[in-house]
Structure 1
Amino acid sequence: MPTFSAPDGTRLAYRVHGAGDPLLCIPGGPADPAYLGDLGGLPAHRRLIVPDLRGTGRSAIPEDVSSYRCDRQVDDIEALRRHLGLPRTDLLAHCAGAGIATQYAARFPEHVGRLALITPSTRAVGIEITAETRRELARLRSAEPWFPEAFAALEAIAGGTGSDWAAVRPFLCGRWDAAARRHLAAAEPTNRDAVAHFAADGAFDPGATRAALAAHRGPVLLLAGQFDLNSPPRSVAGFAALVPAATLVVQPGAGHYPWVDDPARFLAATAAFLA
């Protein structure tokens, strides 16, 4: 697996899938990027370059744990772009990776072509997701056999009387079956330091990021899953409203991992945008 050196000397790995024009793909989590799979077949259209974020996958654990902070990992992406010799690159990011990607676009707009944000976290732009938003979205799944237990756990978490996050996992998936369970297990972050420091104080500057996105003139895709409790369509739509050239797509029947729920539909939306 190829590697490069981060600005602080940490050795970071990255993966390459497919051929053609490069597409730098930033995983969420922070988790081992293997959970992205082939993103619904996207390597048939683009050459995916997927970094193992510091302390995950095959990348080294940094000496300074504060370097796990989201904004500081922007420098890792810039180091990778330079390592690859790309004057400009398209970016795709999933979930928490959108925090890195949007802050990268804010700091280095001259190096960003197309920007695709897949079921993105909205923390970088200061959009809070309320318990009521999640509750309304959850009720769309009321006919599912797992709904009563999952909804009760969700209500307990919202009310501050519970913490059974495992019980609400079905709400992240368009369908709750053995394949979804296996995929969620693969997407689970294992480096607790990386998770704990990712959103530490100073990780986000919503005002500055919003201002930069308002001035961003490049094409931006925001793709939400119809049933995704982590990144509800309403919240992703608010994110899209901040970007002049944004395209909002809500994938029917999908959750937080739309390329798993319906690869063909996901590929049709992303490949067309990235063409």
Structure 2
Amino acid sequence: MPTFTAPDGTQLAYHVRGEGEPLVVLPGGPMRASAYLGDLGGLAAHRRLVLLDLRGTGDSAVPADPATYRCDRQVDDVEALRLHLGLDRMDLLGHSAGGSLAVLYAARRPRRVARLVLVSTALRPLGMRAGAEDRLAAARMREDEPWFDQAYPALRSWLAGTGDYDAACAPFFYGRWDETARAHAEADEQQTNEEAADRYFAEAAFDPVATRAALQDLTAPVLVLTGGLDGGPRPEPARRAAEAFPHSEVAVQPGAGHYPWLDDPDWFVRRVGTFLGGPGLPPTK
């Protein structure tokens, strides 16, 4: 397991899967160990995935200062990884909350990003967020599912702040609530640093006006990918978010939730792989 040292001295770990040109991957959660990403549905067959364990998660060390869990404070960790890998510019993929970190990195270091993929990305750096109504509207698309009657009240209570997040809500985050999805959801608690997660999205982490202005210097192409069943973000907010980048395109994966590589691995790998210039990957239909 390779490691490198962050600017504040914290030892950080990353995991390598596959061969070929590197693709640096930032996990979400927020603050969930990169293990949940697996091989991104088989993308490792086409790219060498460099999966970062954010500080205090997975095999990375806990920092001396817990304030450094804040999203913007971790941009320097991503830069340290780039330097450690010896890359002049890098292809970068961020999932969910990790997409927020990827956006902040691109705003701060636009010339170090070759291509950027944002999957089911939290949009707070752009002054946007998935509201309760967005999530509930997406959830109501699943009303024919056998688990809906139990799951929907739990989701509504959580979003209203009248109840804690309950495992009953989990099916809404997956396009298919099968054994693979259940196992993936059950691993969440063990893989997530809850203290770090509470600090990650602190309001002080984001300056949307400054971020949007800085992104105008980004020459890299950007792919914003979201699932057609995902509530955070739904396709329309994802399209609006893409407008913040000078060179962007949007992909909506049919029937997918918040983890699209689990719902239809072949579709996900073809679409992301084609954007990244992977050989032998015909475009999706």
TM range (shorter): over 0.9
* CA-CA distance at 1:9 after TM superposition: 0.3
What amino acid maps onto 1:204 in structure 2? F
Q: For the residues of structure 2 that align with 1:73 and 1:264, how far apart are their CA atoms?
A: 32
Paired AA for residue 205 in structure 2: A
CA contact (8 A) 2:223 2:275 kept: yes
Q: CA deviation at 1:208?
A: 1.2
CA contact under 8 A between 2:110 and 2:215: conserved in structure 1? no
Q: Which position in structure 2 is the counterpart of 1:91?
A: 92
Number of the residue aligned with 1:196: 198
Q: Is the 8 A contact 2:93 2:118 kept in 1?
A: yes
Q: What's the CA shift string for 1:209-265, capped at 9, x where partnerless?
A: 111223422100010011112322222122112222111000001000000011000
For 1:176, the equivalent position in structure 2 comes to 177
- Residues in 2 aligned to 1:204 and 1:33: alpha-carbon distance in whole angstroms: 23
Quote how far apart the aligned CAs of 1:150 are: 1.5
Structure 2 residue corresponding to 1:270, chosen from 265, 269, 272: 272
CA distance in structure 1 between the aligned counterparts of 2:69 and 2:255, rounded to whole angstroms: 33
Q: Which amino acid aligns with 2:34?
A: P
Distance 1:158 1:170 in 2: 15
Number of equivalent positions: 275
Determine the structure 2 residue equivalent to 1:127.
128
- Per the alignment, residue 115 of structure 1 pairs with 116
Bigger shift: 135-144 or 108-117? 135-144
Q: Which residue of 1 aligns with 2:4?
A: 4
- The whole-number CA distance in structure 1 between the counterparts of 2:25 and 2:187 is 17
Give, in whole Å, the separation in 1 of the partners of 2:194 and 2:154.
23
Rounded to whole Å, the distance in 1 between the matches of 2:235 and 2:257 is 10
Render the CA deviation track for 1:61-83: whole Å, top value 9, x for unaligned.
00100011100100000001111
RMSD: 1.3
Q: TM-score, with normalisation over the residues of structure 1?
A: 0.96
- State the partner residue of 2:236: 234
User: Which one-letter code corresponds to 1:117 in the other structure?
Assistant: L
Shift of 1:173: 0.4
Q: Is the 8 A contact 2:90 2:115 kept in 1?
A: yes
1:28 alignment counterpart: 28
Distance 1:8 1:201 in 2: 22
CA deviation after TM superposition for structure 1 residue 130, in Å: 2.4
Cα distance in 2 for residues equivalent to 1:241 and 1:260: 27
* Pairing 1:142–2:143 present: yes
Show the counterpart of 1:58: 59
- Structure 1 residue 13 and structure 2 residue 13: aligned? yes
TM-score by length of structure 2 reads 0.93
